Amino acid sequence: MTEIAYALVDWGTSSFRAWACAADGHVLGERRSGDGLLNVADGGFATVLEGHLEALGVPADAPAILCGMVGSRTGWVEAPYLSVPTDLAEVARRSQLVPHARRPIHILPGLSQRGAAPDVMRGEETQLLGIVAEGFATGTVCMPGTHSKWVKLHEGRVIAFSSFMTGELFQLLRTSSILKAAVETETGVDPKNPAFADGFGIGFSDARVVTNALFQLRAGWLLDGLDASDQAARLSGLLIGLEFAGAGERLGRDGRHALLASGPIAGLYQAAFDLSELSVDRTFDADGCVRHGLRAAALLLHPERTES
Amino acid sequence: MTEIAYALVDWGTSSFRAWACAADGHVLGERRSGDGLLNVADGGFATVLEGHLEALGVPADAPAILCGMVGSRTGWVEAPYLSVPTDLAEVARRSQLVPHARRPIHILPGLSQRGAAPDVMRGEETQLLGIVAEGFATGTVCMPGTHSKWVKLHEGRVIAFSSFMTGELFQLLRTSSILKAAVETETGVDPKNPAFADGFGIGFSDARVVTNALFQLRAGWLLDGLDASDQAARLSGLLIGLEFAGAGERLGRDGRHALLASGPIAGLYQAAFDLSELSVDRTFDADGCVRHGLRAAALLLHPERTES
């Protein structure tokens, strides 16, 4: 039986995922739970972590590498942001060791961008480490989500990045605004829906009218009985189009592009790349990347326990 | 004692206001309450209205002119939208008479715009009628609010209009988004705060990056400890700047401009006009305009009860 050499943990605000790995990186066990930061009682981090690691059969002396909001000021132990530009290898080197723990527990830091375009990420830096480990070290990475990130990489260094509130705005407008009834649908947005392309065109080419275009979603539904699932697709296209326009302005449109996404959002962003006439040179699965990034950190922090 | 000749009522989703007027339009009494549509039980419209009119001493045979959401599909009696372009005098002519009421009760219709730029208003058309009655019949009217309206008038006709979700987005982002802590402040936005002008500049001149600029409000607060009241001013400027950019694109920037607003929002929009280098040729008080518009409708519907 292969021995567990170390554990990898992605610990966010609302979710917890852990992998038990062999020295060669092979995954021997996995745990997913809702034990995100919001559900961990005061000071309960060690207990929650050890409970999951014990269930995975991780030996008591095996190191654990953690990333995500667990390293934020409101998490377990703060791992202060690294300022960009920075080599992604620094993410492993500047990890914080949790004091007085029974095993070596390392928390990876997030990245910050200071100055005229302030920005932060926590969790995505580990996915980027995974992308670099997979051979995409120079180019622009698109990471869609609640706060989508666009990241400029050069030879494994993060040069600059920009976050966009796309996903959060979509959720707020869909669930809590006057648009609710106009975009209410049981199904997700179909990237092939022509309304998605319509919305994308407005957001991408005509950003100035976007808050008027939002109101039109309701008016078109009221006056012309436009279908709510079409209106939801139009809303999604509008916000993603705006993000693509902004990302182009912030980071340029040159060079190679990678798309890092899992699930339905991957299809929407692939469609958006097509509509914006940018090609996607590599696609990465978001779930896989965080594990690859954590493993890259393990290789650097505990070479004695890893075989590459 | 001057006799009450008719009653004017602005009846919205969350508020109810009524005025008792003499034949010459002089206001003899006023009632304001929270009896908006949301608080009126099924079929209770007549009871609520008559209760307020009785308290004002309005005679049982005096007509009442109503405007606002009371004429919507979910209101008392639907007053179907008038399509633009339309003369504002049509708003009075196409009012709906409430059937089987003890007095003549007229509900004014809203306006709709069909086609490529679908839009609706209900309540603002009555304010526009008031503006025209006050002598502003040709030009562009800016009506800030939850869903700000920009309206192109020509000789008392509404040519076109556009709504912007500015106020609703501000509230959603301020109260329910990740920006909440970064913009949390007890006081309102000060139009003289330089952060308001900063935000306006981005929204107005650089709309494509707006969803990135939103996230920067949080990042700047996290990294640099930027003051929450400055960040709230920046947020307000950003959304209002975007509205001004969009309104210019939809309706042009030529001709005379009127600003219709009451309270703190009037100061913010006056500052926004200054920043966008558009002059405000006339300013109107929103509260007064709805009354003037209702009175203009009364003049047309009940000439026997009015003296101009």
pLDDT for A220: 96
pLDDT tens digits for A66-91?
Answer: 999 999 998 999 999 999 999 999 99
- Distances B271 to A152, B107, B122, B213 between C-alpha atoms, Å: 37, 36, 27, 20
For residue B53, pLDDT beyond 70: yes
**Where does the pLDDT of residue A1 fall: very low under 50, low under 70, confident under 90, or very high at 90 and above?**
low
Contact A222, B163 (CB under 8 A): no
The total of other beta-carbon atoms located within 10 Å of residue A241's CB is 29
Retrieve residue A169's tokens: 């705005």
In percent, the amount of chain B with pLDDT more than 90 equals 93
> Does residue A225 sit within a domain?
yes
> Does residue A2 sit within a domain?
no
- Choose from A161, A165, A251 for mutation: most chain B CBs within 10 A: A165
Q: Does A198 touch chain B (CB under 8 A)?
A: no
3-state DSSP percent of chain B in helix, strand and coil, to 5: 45, 20, 35
pLDDT for B308: 64
**Where does the pLDDT of residue B42 fall: very low under 50, low under 70, confident under 90, or very high at 90 and above?**
confident
- Which residue from A minimizes the CA distance to B244? A208
The nearest CA of chain B is from the CA of A109 a distance in Å of 14
For residue B89, pLDDT beyond 70: yes
Contact A176, A168 (CB under 8 A): no
Range of the domain at A121: 80-97+109-308
Nearest by CB to residue B212, choosing from A164, A211, A214, is A164
Tracing tokens 């009896």 back to the chain, one arrives at: B35
Contact A296, A156 (CB under 8 A): no
CA–CA distance, B290 with B124 (Å, rounded to integer): 8
Q: What is the DSSP string of B149-167?
A: EEEEEETTEEEEEEEE-HH
Asked if B164 and A212 come within 8 Å (Cβ–Cβ), the reply is yes
A contact residues 160-179, partner B, Cβ 8 Å cutoff: 162-166, 168-169, 172-173, 176-178
Q: Which residues pair with A121 in a beta bridge?
A: A111
Burial of B182 (0-12, 13-18, 19+ CB in 10 A): buried
Q: What is the mean pLDDT of residues A10-38?
A: 94
Asked if A215 and B119 come within 8 Å (Cβ–Cβ), the reply is yes
- Distances A246 to B134, B162, B205 between C-alpha atoms, Å: 43, 24, 13
The CATH number of the domain where A157 resides is what?
3.30.420.310
Q: What is the mean pLDDT of residues B268-284?
A: 97
φ and ψ at A192, to 5 degrees? Answer: -90, -10
Contact A212, A246 (CB under 8 A): no
For residue A299, pLDDT beyond 70: yes
Q: Which residues pair with B64 in a beta bridge?
A: B7, B105
The nearest CA of chain B is from the CA of A84 a distance in Å of 13
pTM for the whole structure: 0.95
Asked if A207 and B212 come within 8 Å (Cβ–Cβ), the reply is no
Q: Please tell me the total count of domains within chain A.
A: 1
Tracing tokens 């009653």 back to the chain, one arrives at: B7
> Does residue A42 sit within a domain?
no
ipTM: 0.95
For residue B1, pLDDT beyond 70: no
Contact A139, A129 (CB under 8 A): no
> Does residue A170 sit within a domain?
yes
pLDDT for A42: 76
**Where does the pLDDT of residue B306 fall: very low under 50, low under 70, confident under 90, or very high at 90 and above?**
confident
pLDDT tens digits for B166-202?
Answer: 999 999 999 999 999 999 998 999 999 999 999 999 9
- Distances A13 to A94, A123, A291, B236 between C-alpha atoms, Å: 22, 11, 18, 28
Tell me which amino acid residue A116 is: A
- Distances B242 to B200, B273, B276, B308 between C-alpha atoms, Å: 7, 13, 11, 42
> Does residue A50 sit within a domain?
no
Contact A119, A161 (CB under 8 A): yes
- Which residue from B minimizes the CA distance to A240? B211
A contact residues 15-54, partner B, Cβ 8 Å cutoff: none
pLDDT tens digits for A225-265?
Answer: 999 999 999 999 999 999 999 999 999 999 999 999 989 99
Q: Does B253 touch chain A (CB under 8 A)?
A: no
> Does residue A63 sit within a domain?
no
> Does residue A39 sit within a domain?
no
Q: Does B249 touch chain A (CB under 8 A)?
A: yes
The nearest CA of chain A is from the CA of B308 a distance in Å of 37
pLDDT tens digits for A199-210?
Answer: 999 999 999 999
Retrieve residue A195's tokens: 């309304």
- Which residue from B minimizes the CA distance to A208? B246
End-to-end CA distance of chain A: 19
pLDDT tens digits for A116-175?
Answer: 999 999 999 999 999 999 999 999 999 999 999 999 999 999 999 999 999 999 999 999
pLDDT for B178: 95
Nearest to A125 by CA among A91, A159, A97: A91
Contacts of A248 in chain B (CB under 8 A): 208
Q: Which residues pair with A158 in a beta bridge?
A: A86, A153
Burial of B147 (0-12, 13-18, 19+ CB in 10 A): buried
> Does residue A29 sit within a domain?
no
Contacts of B166 in chain A (CB under 8 A): 211
pLDDT tens digits for A46-62?
Answer: 999 999 999 999 999 99
For residue A43, pLDDT beyond 90: no
Retrieve residue B225's tokens: 């400890």
For residue A308, pLDDT beyond 70: no
Kindly give the residue spans of alpha helices, DSSP state H, lying in B5-73: 45-56
